[in-house]
Amino acid sequence: MIAVSVALTMLSVISAVPWSVSTLSRRQDTCPLNVLSCSPREVDRCCLPEHGLLLLVQQWDITVGPRNKFTMHGIWPDTCLGGCDDNRIFFDIERRLKEYPNKADGFMQQMETFWPSNNGDNNCFWSHEWNRHGTCVSNLDPSCKSDPVEGEDIYAFFSKALELRSKYDLYQALAAKGIFPNQGAMVNITRILNAIQAAFNVTPSLRCKNGALNEITLYFKVKNGDQYVPVQPPRSDWRGNCGETVSFPPKNE
| 129 catalytic residue (yes or no) | yes
Distance CA 199, CA 195 (A): 6
The answer to whether residues 22 and 3 touch, using CB atoms and an 8 Å cutoff, is: yes
Distance CA 140, CA 156 (A): 7
Distances 192 to 131, 176, 195, 247, 250 between C-alpha atoms, Å: 32, 11, 5, 11, 16
β-strand partners of 58: 72, 216
Spatial neighbors of 133 by CB under 8 A, at least 6 apart, are 74, 75, 76, 77, 80
Q: What is the DSSP letter of 235?
A: S
Q: Which residue among the candidates 50, 51, 94, 133 is catalytic per the annotation?
A: 133
| 133 catalytic residue (yes or no) | yes
| 73 catalytic residue (yes or no) | yes
Q: Which residue among the candidates 50, 129, 152, 215 is catalytic per the annotation?
A: 129
Q: Which residue among the candidates 50, 51, 73, 163 is catalytic per the annotation?
A: 73
Residues designated catalytic: 73, 129, 133
